Amino acid sequence: MRPLIRPALADDQSAIVTLVRSERLNPTNLDWRRFTVAISDGTLVGAVQVRHHKDGARELGSLVVKPAFRRQSIAKTLIDAVLRDVSDTVWIVTGRDNVGHYAAWGFVQAKPRMAPRSVRFNYRAGRAMRFVSLLRGVKPKYLTLLVRNGHPDWPSPSG
């Protein structure tokens, strides 16, 4: 049966934190109020959020689907759900390998200097984590910055 996609509830908070930490994604700012989740048989199996930063920036992040539930379009459905009602500019800090994937929602690569301070901070913090990964002997992720809509200097989304 397809998982239920719904806005997160307060009771989902600890499962969200566990899921996001399991993939070593940015562990900050994990407020259930910003999350949309996928629920299968009463268990949280996927999550994504749009962070609302104090400087007004919107940032899609914390996208995780539990390994046993991958490749069933759950991530795609979660992204569709959170972007459906967002007309503002949305930023993503993600691995370089993911650029092609997000193009489907109109995201294009952006230069860090064009990003709001909050997003630039997350991008730089993520890049700094590369050194932590190297020290731990884990393959580091090469991050990039993506943006969709809204900024006058960027091309329109392609679809």
Ligand X SMILES: CC(C)(COP(=O)(O)OP(=O)(O)OC[C@H]1O[C@@H](n2cnc3c(N)ncnc32)[C@H](O)[C@@H]1OP(=O)(O)O)[C@@H](O)C(=O)NCCC(=O)NCCS
Size, binding site for ligand X by CB under 6 A = 14
At 80, the amino acid letter reads D
All residues at 6 or more sequence positions from 105 whose CB lies less than 8 Å from its CB, including other chains? 79, 83, 148, 157
Contact with ligand X (CB under 6 A) among 50, 63, 115, 146: 63
Q: How far is the CB of 73 from ligand X (least distance, A)?
A: 4
For residue 147, state whether it binds ligand X (rule: CB under 6 A). no
Per CB under 6 A, contacts with ligand X among 13-32 are 23
Distance separating alpha carbons of residues 148 and 102, to the nearest angstrom:
9
CB atoms within 10 A of CB 3: 20
Contact with ligand X (CB under 6 A) among 52, 72, 106, 151: 72
Half-sphere exposure of 133 (CA within 13 A, CB side): 14
DSSP 54: T
For residue 75, state whether it binds ligand X (rule: CB under 6 A). yes
For residue 74, state whether it binds ligand X (rule: CB under 6 A). yes
For residue 76, state whether it binds ligand X (rule: CB under 6 A). yes
